[in-house]
């Protein structure tokens, strides 16, 4: 996999380069600000960009804005956002275009090499990955919302795992359920969140986005 990294912390950037290189990936560019990220992606057309939310010069949301701009210019752009904190707005904005090929992980997750590499692979393949801690905090924050409150405990569990990027087959394995049961839970989730029938490749993203956008 050909990867561009946008991270202003030199030690973390170098650590990512080493980890990815040693696991068979090619880091085609490693930059420290949003402008350089845009230039690097335009030049190299990577399979995946790993981007810190907060980049110079303002250290607010420059990385996220650059990622959104890249996906607006080319919807096939794959972006894995990393952040120091759980930030609901950033997670929702990342998913706002309703497409896959995006991920949002906390930086602490990078230390679990296998999980991080798995997330990178899934995003590069067009999947959607949300950090389990992000999902947990959002559920805790929104448990009183009317539409979310209609979900059964099992449906909440299914939605949580969907947000983490698990496929139907992976859901069956994780929950020890038959495929027909998983499909029924997912159908119920879509209905309770008011999601009309749509392209199946994007319905999971819309389900997670519907949840993130709850007040």
SS3 35: helix
Q: Which of 110, 130, 150 lies at the terminal end of a domain, its last residue?
A: 130
The pLDDT tens digits along the chain (215 residues) read 999 999 999 999 999 999 999 999 999 999 999 999 999 999 999 999 999 999 998 888 999 999 999 998 998 999 999 998 877 777 777 777 667 889 889 998 898 999 899 999 999 998 888 887 777 666 665 555 567 778 898 998 888 788 777 778 888 998 999 999 999 998 888 888 777 665 554 567 667 666 665 54
Domain count, the chain: 2
Residue 164, both tokens: 């983490």
Both 94 and 9 in a single domain? yes
pLDDT of residue 146: 61
Distance CA 100, CA 30 (A): 24
Q: Which of 130, 151, 181 lies at the terminal end of a domain, its last residue?
A: 130
Both 55 and 94 in a single domain? yes
Query: For residue 147, what are the CA distances in angstroms to 34, 166, 168?
Result: 37, 23, 23
Q: Which of 98, 130, 162 lies at the terminal end of a domain, its last residue?
A: 130
Query: For residue 106, what are the CA distances in angstroms to 110, 143, 169, 178?
Result: 8, 22, 25, 32
Within the chain, residue ranges assigned H as helices are 10-22, 34-44, 62-73, 88-95, 113-124, 132-142, 146-149, 153-163, 168-175, 179-192, 200-212
pLDDT of residue 200: 55
Assign residue 197 the CATH number of its domain.
1.10.10.10
Both 69 and 156 in a single domain? no
Both 28 and 122 in a single domain? yes
Both 121 and 179 in a single domain? no
Both 78 and 155 in a single domain? no
pLDDT of residue 139: 60
Query: Containing domain of residue 155, as a range?
Result: 135-212
Distance CA 30, CA 52 (A): 12
Distance CA 127, CA 60 (A): 26
pTM of the model: 0.75
Both 99 and 190 in a single domain? no
Both 125 and 199 in a single domain? no
Both 123 and 158 in a single domain? no
């Amino acid at each position: 996999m050909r990867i561009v990294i946008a991270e202003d912390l030199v030690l973390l950037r170098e650590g990512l380069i080493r980890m990815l290189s040693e696991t068979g990936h090619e880091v085609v560019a490693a930059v420290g600000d949003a402008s350089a990220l845009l230039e690097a992606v335009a030049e190299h057309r990577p399979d995946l960009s790993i981007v810190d939310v907060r980049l110079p010069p303002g250290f607010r949301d420059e990385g996220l804005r650059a990622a959104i701009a890249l996906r607006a210019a080319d919807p096939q752009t794959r972006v894995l956002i990393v952040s120091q904190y759980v930030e609901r707005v950033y997670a929702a904005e990342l998913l706002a275009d309703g497409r896959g090929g995006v991920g949002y992980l906390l930086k602490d997750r990078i230390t679990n090499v296998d999980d991080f590499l798995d997330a990178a692979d899934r995003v590069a393949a067009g999947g959607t990955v949300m950090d389990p801690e992000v999902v947990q905090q959002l559920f805790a924050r929104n448990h009183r919302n009317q539409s979310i409150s209609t979900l059964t405990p099992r449906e909440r569990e299914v939605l949580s795992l969907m947000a983490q990027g698990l496929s139907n087959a992976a859901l069956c394995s994780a929950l020890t359920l038959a495929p027909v049961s998983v499909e029924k839970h997912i159908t119920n989730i879509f209905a309770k969140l008011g999601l009309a029938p749509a392209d199946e490749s994007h319905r999971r993203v819309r389900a997670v986005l519907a949840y993130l956008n709850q007040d």
